[in-house]
A and B are shown apart, each in its own frame.
Chain A
Amino acid sequence: MTHTQEQADLLETLCPMFLLVDRSGCIQQAGPTLQKLRPELPLVGLGVLDVFELIRPRTVTTLPALMSMAGAKLHLRFRDEPRTTLKGLVAPLPESGGAVINLSFGISILDAVRDYALTSADFSGTDLAIELLYLVEAKSAAMEASRSLNLRLQGAMLAAEEQAYTDTLTGLKNRRAMDHLLGHLILANSTFALMHLDLDFFKSVNDRLGHAAGDYVLQQAARIMLEETRGDDTVARVGGDEFVIIFKNLTRVETLESIAGRLIARLNEPMMFQDQPCCISASIGTALSTQFKVPKAADILHAADVALYQAKRDGRSCHRLYSTLIKAQT
């Protein structure tokens, strides 16, 4: 008796989650922490396999099979709620034919401390549970700090990229953005029209009324171009007074003619800068992606450029289509 009592005291100190079972699988004694998990259900006297089911190895369903698992790692689960999973190790007691089964929470510890309101006193002094809980909280806090830094850096990066694609004077896209989009459209085999628009007499406004007037004219011209195009068309300022407008999925000549006509008409109207009229006009050349068997960015830009040059030669303030020029030549 003393021997058994000593053994039990020893087990309670070293393994607060042990089970002592006899040869019939009946629980003789349960560690204090394990009993704390089932305050309403005294474990002593119950059959070990009635309280727990084995998850791994699945083949173990009988008591003799369980007793034969000496030294192997077991995964068990409470049969009733909360169905906490536990890790276990069986140490047979040859003299009595029973066994000591030591249990621990394993990875379920995070839920277990919350579900059962466990405290430091419920773990043996050498158990790493408290250190594990500490680490989880410390690492989560550190991860949260890193994550918030990452989010701010990502925001800063997006803002920087956005700026790099934007012409700061007019708010339109810049040449880089236009090149990028053009490459993308060609890769995706999209059809589109590309307008090259050049402001006539812009240099004279700049020379006569100064750079402030020139900047004002560019901003007004940009506004007009945005107003006369659809939301998913791209308007880019690609040089001092040069603009490119890309119309995705639009190659209908009549529509393009009418947009170009409206642009020219509105840009022809004098703009007032500090009570001084600034008079410009616009020449436009347009090329269609569908005119090329294998469209290349450089070829389409060149075609629009050729059409623009023709518009300038034809007296400015007009629109020319590359396709019309080609037909006239052949």
Chain B
Amino acid sequence: MHGLINRAIQSFVGATYGQSCWVRVTEGARLGFVEFEAMLIYDDEMTTRVLEALSIDLNRPQAEILEDLGTYLVSHPNMEGLRRLLRFGGVTYVEFLHSLDDLTDRVRLAVSDLNLPALELRELSAKEYQLCCLPDMPGFSSVMVGVLRAMADDYGALVMLSHEGRQECCEIISIILVESAFSEGRHFDLGARNR
């Protein structure tokens, strides 16, 4: 698993539950180290063990924790850079949803060895969408639920999301757009590079 993903988990746990929780998780997962390096590649096994240890430590199901991770990635001040990259996807929430088709390619443009599962948006109507995640990275669809929810807040859209689980060969997230301009949302400035 790419170091950036492991590092994201580490950052989320540290910021949400504290460094001591993260240290316990690394011990529970028998990592032998505490810090993941963002630009190195690790065995997938390690990530699996970290998530298992985290689930035991917090006594919460993995899917729930991963949803929170998705929300953290968009809404926490630590992750402002990532939120901005996602906002480049479109001017409105619906445009952003459509840009998810290109997400894996966009990610590869930035970090050539970071492979995320392919996403496909199905437009059932102007208010109803389904996002299909290929299942090559377990838990990815749960993270996406959190990302979609936080991005809706970011755009000021009101949505209802549900994780429909596995259908045929992919994980389905259904998205119902109740109101596209429900609140003001957060400001996005194309040129705000000096944070």
Using a CB–CB cutoff of 8 Å, the interface residues on chain A facing chain B are 110, 112-115, 117-121, 130-131, 133-139, 141-142, 145-146, 148-149, 152
Contacts and interface: CB of A to CB of B under 8 A. Distances in A.
A134 B105 CA distance: 12
B111 A120 contact: no
A118 B109 contact: no
Nearest to B188: A119
A139 B108 CA distance: 11
Interface residues of B, number: 21
Contact of A113 (B84, B110, B190): B190
8 contacts: A110-B191, A114-B193, A117-B191, A137-B81, A137-B88, A138-B85, A138-B109, A142-B39
Nearest to B194: A114
Given A134-B85, A138-B110, A149-B39, A113 B191 contact: yes
Contacts of A113: 190-191
Given A134-B106, A142-B110, A120 B81 contact: no
A130 B38 contact: no
Contacts of A148: 38
A110 B85 contact: no
Interface of B, secondary structure class, is: loop
B169 interface: no
A118 B81 contact: no
Contact of A133 (B38, B39, B88): B88
A139 B110 contact: yes
B184 interface: no
A118 B85 contact: no
Given A137-B85, A142-B111, A149-B38, 9 more contacts: A110-B191, A117-B189, A118-B190, A135-B109, A138-B106, A138-B110, A138-B111, A146-B39, A152-B37
